[in-house]
Amino acid sequence: MGKKTKLGIAAVAVSAAAWAGSKALSNPQIRPVKKVLSYHSPLILAHRGGLAVAPENSMAAFSKSAELGVDGFEIDIRLTNDEEILVFHDEYIDRTTDGAGRVADMSLSKLRTFDLGYHFVDINGEHSFRGKGERVVLLKELLEAFPDMYINIDIKDSPETYEGSLMPSKLWRLIEAQGAEERVVVTSFYDEQIDRFNLYAQNRVAIGAGENEVKKAFAAFNSQLGHLYKPRADVFQIPVRQSLFRLDSPRFISFLGNLNVPVHYWTVNEPEQMQALIAAGAKGLVTDRPDLAVAELAKIEDK
């Protein structure tokens, strides 16, 4: 046996010993289950209220989806210039209203002059909500209107902006004042915003995974050191695919599930995909089509 071969075998042996040692010494950090995540059937969450059935983020959409029987809503929040927490996705309002401008530059009273249903087109190609009085909604109003709904709250304002710097503390104070700690999940694409929110919440509110946490979990899952991964989120709300990587394998869902971290997928609008994800172990679906999702889940549960 040559010297190089011996060295190679020794290196493999050392690596294997290190892996075995780390496995033996590791103590998997299973997340404590939050009340909002204690459910048995997969959740149906209406994306921005159910943006295919009524204008996104409108009270009409939230009400219609609630009537259809969804478990909750997936929403985004932004801060107005008078520091009100608005249920809104885009940085600029142009796409969904008859007005124009940046949310953070306008007051609530200004934003409420715009028609939130102005651009919405129904399945018949008609502007069915234009001029019907739909206005922007505050998070406080949504929490009060639907006290029994699961609400996934996504902080959209960047931590580097003024409004983003204020959002974590203001959001915590609102949730606490509303007594909503056990029925919401707070998340963001920005891991920093989640961390800053949790400095105030102190684990009293379920938190989602930011982009970096998702990358870390997926890297651990694909390595030989997955047993060392310690989740910093209570739930993963993720797309089916991220760049070149598929995130919907039953093994990845199981990897997180064994740590008490359920996986929800967005944005799922096709019945076949809904069936496949639930069969793979997904615990929640975020959808623009709550009408289809509720019906599809009922079919699955009847089987």
* Residues known to be catalytic: 47, 89
Which alpha helices (DSSP H) does the chain contain, by range?
A: 3-25, 59-68, 108-111, 139-145, 162-178, 191-201, 211-222, 250-257, 271-280, 290-302
Please tell me the distance from the alpha carbon of residue 242 to that of residue 215, in angstroms, as a whole number: 9
The burial of 86, by beta-carbon neighbours within 10 Å (0-12 exposed, 13-18 middle, 19 or more buried), is given as buried
Do residues 139 and 170 touch, judged by C-beta distance below 8 A? no
**Residues sharing a CB contact under 8 Å with residue 267, sequence separation 6 or more, in sequence order:** 47, 239, 286, 287, 288
Beta bridge partners of 263: 236
Please tell me the distance from the alpha carbon of residue 274 to that of residue 297, in angstroms, as a whole number: 8
**Residues sharing a CB contact under 8 Å with residue 215, sequence separation 6 or more, in sequence order:** none
Measured distance between the N- and C-terminal CA atoms of the chain, rounded to whole angstroms: 61
Beta bridge partners of 264: 237, 284
In our burial notation (b when 16+ CB lie closer than 10 A, e otherwise), range 126-152 reads eeebbeeebebbbbbebbeebeebbbb
Do residues 13 and 254 touch, judged by C-beta distance below 8 A? no
Do residues 45 and 72 touch, judged by C-beta distance below 8 A? yes
